[in-house]
Structure 1
Amino acid sequence: MCGICGVRSPSAAPDAALVQRMMAALHHRGPDACGWFRDDQVALGHTRLAIVDVEGGAQPMSDEDEQVWVTFNGEIFNHVELAAQLRDRGRRLRTRSDTEVIVQAWKEWGTECFERFNGQWALAIWDRRTGELVLSRDRFGVRPLFYASVGERLLFASEVKAIFADPQVRRAFDPTGLDQAMTLWSPVAPRTVFDGVRQVPPGTYLVVRGGAAHEHRYWEPTFPEHGQASRQDVRAHAQELRERIVRATRLRFERSDVPVGAYLSGGLDSAVTAAAITAYTDAELHTFSLRFADVEFDEGRYQRMMSDRLATTHREVVVTEREIADVFPDVVWHAENVLLRTAPAPMLLLSRLVRESGYKVVVTGEGSDEVLAGYDIFREARLREQWARDPDAVDRVRAVEQLYPWMRRSPALAPAFAARFFGKDLDVNDLAMSHRPRWGATSALTSMLTAEARFGVDGAADAAVLARMPAQAAGWDPLSRAQWLEMATLLPGYILASQGDRMLMANSVEGRFPFLDADVAAFAGALPADQLIRGMDEKHLLKRAFADLVPPQIIARPKQPYRAPDAASFFSHGAPPWLEEALSPEAVKAAGVFQPVVVERLLAKCRKTLGRGMSNTDNMRLVAVVSVQLLHQLFIDGGRHLPAAPASPMAVFDRMTPTKEP
């Protein structure tokens, strides 16, 4: 895991000092070493977190003729197999690193190499033979990659703050990106919340020629036509799913030259990956868990149950509301996005525990809910699809009572209201029917925006998603359409980014996600919907596949999504010192995003209630306001100070001077 950055400048040599400032902004992503390459058109920078081939994997790396250069963030987990194929084709490899496999795979297969990679990556290839700079991102968007144009120059980096190291890059919000974030939970790639800053979409590569970037999609989630899914029985599918998940987990646990730990959340997914490690490897497993002082959010009982069963060396961090508030500015600094929940904050504290325990890598269960249909929104969609096909159904109230058994303020407490809420927009021809209730509820946040922030924004954030949806989606099962939408919005923009990569890499920790393995995802995408959700039992096939390795108490417990205290974190024990400044009427007016009078009314409610017992919408409103105001303070209105040069051992490959420091 690393940080990457660079500049493409067709008619003038890139500024060496600029690429060094960009690298300095990414030091947290790669504190072990750094390096940069420069010629008369391109500069590539790299900050390294050394995990595979610690001695031989330094970057930027080139081929033997120094005609193809790469800077790479991530892991290609099948690099051993690819290296063997390349050697059989006559390619010479000097190291054991997956980085060199990328270089030689590019020379052998060109852009087709991305389809052969099984991993998580963001990379840049500078091919001096053709004058092309190629930017590529993995299938699901595990690793981030941003870019921006300044005149004829193109800058790219793992994080936006590195692009802002160039003072010529304009710092401003993008109203459309903000609107999407406050409707869909995150901007839809290539949008970001910053004007002029774009992200490479998942499953995509860009070819930069001169000053123009051309987008090419090499992969996207696919599903069979409705009724055409594999018809093997449940037992056979469960066995094959188990084999693929075990293989993917072992690949991510064993292919590392440093120790690898695992998260235990208390839920099914992390229990499965941890159990696969202990059952199918000889390693002693170290596990890490996040707990809460507030029992409403705490899952410690199930974490300890799984740790005891697997006999792991277990560590945990217990997070308080005040700790969430204290760390939240750092969370926003690393997330670089609008947040609607405080849930990323405890994840930052958990990765800090991992790093302080001497670990750089953890295996986690993220991705399972998307590829194996585990979220409540999928069960909601099943109910709503049934209601749409049978408008006269009389059991809507009873059906709603089956949803959200974990929630203190469950819709089951007002089932008639919930039935009316979920019974809206029941159009089976609407490709986004599954997500209308969530998007409608979340978009209430946009009513707080100023007229200026809404200028030019038509509010149709959903159109940005549907425009990227494949034409064949109309023939998919409704569950498949719902899964695609989740993979296009919440997964890359929030789960893997704000709550995943950014909170891990804030403490120089790499996360690995077996459920997002290319082979696991391909198999899951071909499964029948009624084997993923059986009745109202989510992830039915996964539970069957690992029933012998996971305690029945975890198998049978209702799905409980990861949550953290929201408004209460900022008000229950007195507002933290930074909050009043960030949310003052003057600061809100200066940011120009929210109406100050509306914000003040919301703050008055929070102060009166100490942030407790607030509605879901008000919790999201408060966190959205706080995060936007911090984004403005940290990135637009001056920004944090960044070091002028990397604080790591540095290798320099400067083709603009006669010197070379290997």
Structure 2
Amino acid sequence: MCGLAGYIGVDSSHGMALLGRMSRAQVHRGPDGDGTFVQAGLGLTHRRLAVIDRAGGAQPMRSQDGRYVLAYNGEVYNYRELRGELVAAGHTFSSASDTEVVLAAWIEWGEAAFDRFDGMFALAIADTVTGQMTLVRDQFGIKPLYLAEDGAGRVFFSSEIRPILATGLIQARPDDTTVYRYLQFRVHDDTQRTFFAGISRLMPGELAVISPAGRVSRRTYTSLYADLRSLARTPRPYDDAARQRFADALRSSIRSRLVSDVPVGTALSGGLDSSTVAATVSELLAGQDSETSAIGHQQQTFSAVFPGETNDEERYVDAVAASLPSVRVHKIEPSVRDFLVDLPDFVRSQEEPVISTGPYAQYCVMKEASQHVTVMLDGQGADEMMAGYIPYYLVHARQLRRAGRTAATAAELASVSGLLWGLGRTKVADKVLMRTGRTVTDLLSHDFVGRHADERMDIVTDDLKVRLEDDLFRHSLPALLRYEDRNTMRFSLEGRVPFLTTELLRTLWSLDDTAIVHAGRNKRALREATAGLLPSVVNRRRKKIGFTTPEDAWFRKMTGPVLEVFSSASFGSRPYFDQAATQQAFRQFIRGRSTVDTMAFWRLFNLELWMREFIDPVQVDVPIRPALLAAS
């Protein structure tokens, strides 16, 4: 795992100094080495976290004929198989790294190579003959890549946003449309836009070609999305053979993601997805599988727990750990005081606002894990792939109703009535307790809302697989992957996500929807694949929590720090907020009289801290003070 950066259109006399600033801005992404390539008009720099072939694979890597130069962030897990094909085609290799295979694959197959890769990647390939730069991001968007044009023919790109700002040639300005959609709809990372005006992200499965004159041309290179639509139109029955295909594809994916020359651990939240990864790794270890050498004699798992809080999942973590033959469990207990101390670094590390305090739990887990391992596996992506959130049940029911299957609709709704009651319970409580009926819109500036009145958040409501695709590649997963990338790389860790493989997704989409939702249970194929692997209390559970924080309890303890921010001069000067309405609503929330939830208050709070960190020329207000915490 690494960090890359580069440019097109900068005079070579200034290139080395500029690349040095970009490299230093993301040294955390690659503490094991760095390299730079400069040619007239183009440059590349690379920071390396050495995971595979630690002695070889230095970057930027030049092709044997000298024409192409590669800077690459990620892992291609099937590199050994691809290497065999490339050797048969006449290529020779001087290292055992996947980087050299990626470069040779580009030379042999061009952009068709990228759909052959099983893994995660963001890369830049310079053509020293044409002066052209090609940028590519993997099909799921697991690894990030950002770019910015300065309007004068210069284009900058990097794995994070801070290196682009470090050039001194791109000004940090807020993108008000992104800010509005974040505050109003709780969405971000769903388009090319970022919170920084003029800085965009490459989308999942996207390729960009930058000409020597600085013209940027983007297109989708992968056939994955068209393949999924085709498979969904003609699904096969979910039978015993299908069940086995899914189980085999999942096991193969987890196994391949153990390939490493450095220690590997597992994030364990206690949910079905991360527990599946941990249990499969344990089974492979017990069987002395050849790919488990980086695990060591005992698998190490890392969990965030919150004793005494309603969202604590420690009992599920313990149940999984007790079922594994050899495991060392690391439990981390994030506290609200730690949160306030870490908040400046957390905001800085994420680079853009996040939708809740939940990612901080992952931040704490990765901080501890970095003391023991270099690679971390987790269950990210399974929820969006297999309907892991409660609203998906409604989408499935509407799909059945649209198809005229009235009896099936009623049966599905009846089987999840207890879960759906949880969705409506808050509204009932609001009426009983006569809470003030405010929404997040009431806390925003009327002028700001008016300027963005045409913005919409469109979601699919009656087609399960189309909705899941939307959330996989736009509305849900991209943000979670950004959180994970920053939380792992902040501590020089490589995060791997075994559920996010094109083979597994294609296998699932080739089956009818009962492989996903059936008889009131989601993730059917996964539950059946792990029925003999996981404790039933985990395999059968339906209420999902995952890595999150007891946000409601924390906000009540954070009354002082939050009100200090909401009362600050800088908060009042922003064009986004209604300061008086925000203060009043938050005080009503503390008294239990407001319908505005903590996630809404967090968005305002987080945005203000982000503005102070990245946008304001100088720090205007005093830092957050943990001493203002309310007594427990």
In structure 2, which of residues 288, 291, 306 is the aligned counterpart of residue 292 of structure 1?
306
| 1:77 Cα deviation from its structure 2 partner | 0.9
Report SS of the residue matched to 1:332: helix
Q: Deviations over 1:363-400 (max 9, x none)?
A: 11111111222221211212344566779999989948
Q: TM-score, length-normalised on structure 2?
A: 0.87
Cα 1:14–1:378, aligned 2, differ >3 Å: closer, same or farther? Answer: farther
Counterpart for residue 324 of structure 1:
339
Residue 602 in 1 paired to residue 602 in 2? no
Q: Distance in 2 between matches of 1:389 and 1:406?
A: 22
Counterpart for residue 146 of structure 1 = 146
* Displacement after TM superposition at 1:555 (Å): 1.2
* Secondary structure, counterpart of 2:257 in structure 1: helix
How far apart, CA to CA, are the structure 2 residues paired with 1:458 and 1:258? 51
Aligned CA distance change for structure 1 residues 575 and 60 (closer, same or farther; 3 Å): farther
1:283-362 correspondence to structure 2 within 5 Å = 283=292, 284-310=298-324, 311-357=326-372, 359-362=373-376
Residues 447 and 215 of structure 1: is their aligned pair in 2 closer, same or farther, counting only changes over 3 Å?
farther
Q: Structure 1: where are the runs of 5+ without partners?
A: 419-442, 467-473, 641-662
Contact 2:268 2:278 (C-alpha < 8 Å) held by counterparts? yes
Of 540, 543, 563 in structure 2, the residue corresponding to residue 556 of structure 1 is 540
| Number of the residue aligned with 1:104 | 104
Equivalence for 2:196: 194
Question: Structure 1 pair 160/461, CA: closer, same or farther in 2 (3 Å)?
Answer: farther
Distance of 2:116 and 2:47 partners within structure 1: 25
1:570 shift after superposition? 4.0
Residue 478 of structure 2 corresponds to residue 493 of structure 1: yes
The letter for the 2-side match of 1:154 is V
Change (3 A) 1:581 1:22: farther
1:115 Cα shift?
Answer: 1.1
**Aligned partners of 1:287 and 1:313 also within 8 Å:** yes
Deviation at 1:227, TM superposition (A): 7.5
Contact 2:46 2:71 in 1 (8 A): yes
Q: What's the % identity of the aligned pairs?
A: 28
Secondary structure of 2:136's partner? strand
Listed as ranges, the matches of 1:203-602 within 5 Å are 203-209=205-211, 210-219=213-222, 220-221=224-225, 222-224=227-229, 228-253=233-258, 255-281=259-285, 282=288, 283=292, 284-310=298-324, 311-357=326-372, 359-386=373-400, 399=413, 402=416, 405=419, 410-412=423-425, 445-451=440-446, 453-454=448-449, 456-462=451-457, 478-498=463-483, 500-562=484-546, 563-572=548-557, 575-576=560-561, 579=562, 582-602=565-585
Deviation at 1:271, TM superposition (A): 1.4
Map 1:30-179; keep pairs closer than 5 Å.
30-150=30-150, 151-179=152-180
Q: What is residue 434 of structure 2 aligned with on the other side?
A: none
Q: Distance in 2 between matches of 1:416 and 1:596?
A: 27
- Following superposition, the deviation at residue 339 of structure 1 comes to 2.1
TM-score relative to the length of structure 1? 0.84
Deviation at 1:186, TM superposition (A): 1.0
Q: Which residue of 1 aligns with 2:603?
A: 624
8 A Cα contact 2:208 2:217, kept in partner: yes
User: What number of residue pairs does the alignment pair up?
Assistant: 596
In structure 2, distance between residues paired with 1:372 and 1:316: 28
C-alpha spacing 1:414/1:181, structure 2 compared with 1 (3 Å): closer
Equivalent residue of 2:173, what SS? coil
Q: Is 319-328 or 479-488 further displaced after alignment? A: 319-328
Measure, in 2, the Cα distance between the counterparts of 1:600 and 1:417.
20
User: Residue 64 and residue 625 in structure 1: after superposition, are their counterparts in 2 closer, same or farther (change >3 A)?
Assistant: same
Q: 1:229, 1:389 → 2: CA distance?
A: 16
In structure 2, do the counterparts of structure 1 residues 152 and 14 end up closer, same or farther at CA, with 3 Å as the change threshold? farther
**What do residues 568-598 of structure 1 show as CA deviations (whole Å, max 9, x unaligned)?**
424415534xx56643341113333222222
Change (3 A) 1:558 1:586: same
C-alpha contact (below 8 Å) 1:268/1:554 kept by paired residues: yes
The 1:398/1:188 distance shift into structure 2, 3 A limit, reads: closer
SS of alignment partner, residue 388 of structure 2: coil
Q: CA RMSD in A?
A: 3.0
1:451 deviates by 4.8
Tell me if the contact between 2:123 and 2:136 (Cα under 8 Å) persists in the aligned partners.
yes
CA distance in 2, matches of 1:639, 1:18: 23
Gaps of 5+ in 2: 293-297, 432-437, 620-632
State how far apart, in whole Å, the 1-side matches of 2:322 and 2:513 are. Answer: 34
Quote how far apart the aligned CAs of 1:295 are.
2.4
